Amino acid sequence: MLLVGEPILGDEEKNALCDVIDSNWLTMGDRVRAFEEAFAQAHGAEDSVAVNSCTAALHLILHALGLGPGDEVLVPALTFVATANSVLYVGATPVFVDIQSPDVPLMSLAEAEARCTPRTKAVILVHFAGYLPDRGAWQALARRRNLMLIEDAAHAPGLREVGTYGVAAAFSFYGNKNMTTGEGGAVIARDGALLAQIRQARGHGMTSGTRQRLDARTPTYDVTMIGFNYRLDELRAAIGLVQLRHLAHWNEARRALTAEYRRRLAAHCPDLTVPFSQPRPTTCHIMPVLLPADADRQAVIDHLRADGIQTTIHYSPVHRMTLYSSLWPDVSLPRTEDFARRELTLPLHPRMDAQAVETVAASLGAALRNHASAEAVA
């Protein structure tokens, strides 16, 4: 099966894990700190905080910013549910915003501004598929409306622009991401005081960690804030240090494969829409396409699976999920809903080559032609 996403793991990661085991120090030690520093450097930032997931990263950012009951946070519905969940974690209200267009399935700037109220305090910008929105335009909106910009950069590690939009950015190192630690995440914030608050809240609000107390030769600590158990362990940090060294190369491979997809899909599937037709900074995390409006998506999925090709969907709209539709039943986002009905995510990862792209494009073209033929006969 040609998978939608596949991590690259090998002897470097195995050796790094063995080194951690040999050190006999498994959590929140030198490797976590080294990974934080290296990850920050890769993004042109002073520092970062490593955590156990992107969800934790988002929660910590919102918590440190003091968002809570009565506050509203603008979020897209075309995202993984964790984006909206993190708003609920702090007691604030997620306000769902439609996408700009089928070609640019990022949060609509115009609609975001239209949905602002006196209670709107922040915006979570999701870098869907690894593509970045217009930074200047969003910063201008933030100034006009006195909003805090937060980046959900789960799909976009390795771009220097990420982490420069507003107050903080959250990253994911889940197993299907451009670099992985299995589970894991990170926060970049340009304000040192904010980052320090996030760092302390990551570990129960304690004023020192176990390794710090060992080095300082004192067993005492205090708790000065509410905190959480969101720490990263040494094993994952060790993998992260290895993966980070390859991230730029892997991102470039994804860009080349995406360009190959665009050429071959145009030849095999002329009725297909491939979003983000105009160049913009991207990590090319996934390969989303939009099927023709009359296509039977499940039939296409079944055809590709029979050819040994996995596909998936990014995403089921959050506002249509049972929890959120029960809380806010009147939300209507027509562009998001149409996109989600037609979207199909094709395999994209650095283990692929041009021949694999050709295989996928040819199979998809055949699936769409078969559907068209069946419709004509019917």
Q: Which residues are catalytic?
A: 177
CA 365 to chain centre: 29
Cis amide bond preceding 315, omega within 30: yes
Residue 235: CA count within 13 A, CB half-sphere: 9
How far is Cα 169 from Cα 166, in angstroms, rounded to an integer?
8
How far is Cα 207 from Cα 81, in angstroms, rounded to an integer?
32
Q: Is 65 helix (H, G, I), strand (E, B) or coil?
A: coil
Count CB-CB contacts under 10 A for residue 166: 21
Count CB-CB contacts under 10 A for residue 332: 9
CA distances from 335 to 108, 198, 287 (A): 10, 35, 19
Q: Name the burial class of residue 228, with classes exposed (0-12), middle (13-18) and buried (19+) by CB atoms within 10 angstroms of its CB.
A: middle
Count CB-CB contacts under 10 A for residue 89: 18
The encoded tokens of residue 64 equal 């440190």
Does residue 186 contact residue 36 with C-beta atoms inside 8 Å? yes
Closest among 34, 80, 4 to 236, alpha carbons compared: 34
154: left (phi over 0), alpha (psi -120 to 50) or beta: alpha
Does residue 66 contact residue 194 with C-beta atoms inside 8 Å? no
Does residue 358 contact residue 264 with C-beta atoms inside 8 Å? yes
Does residue 181 contact residue 240 with C-beta atoms inside 8 Å? yes
The encoded tokens of residue 229 equal 């158990």
How far is Cα 49 from Cα 352, in angstroms, rounded to an integer?
32
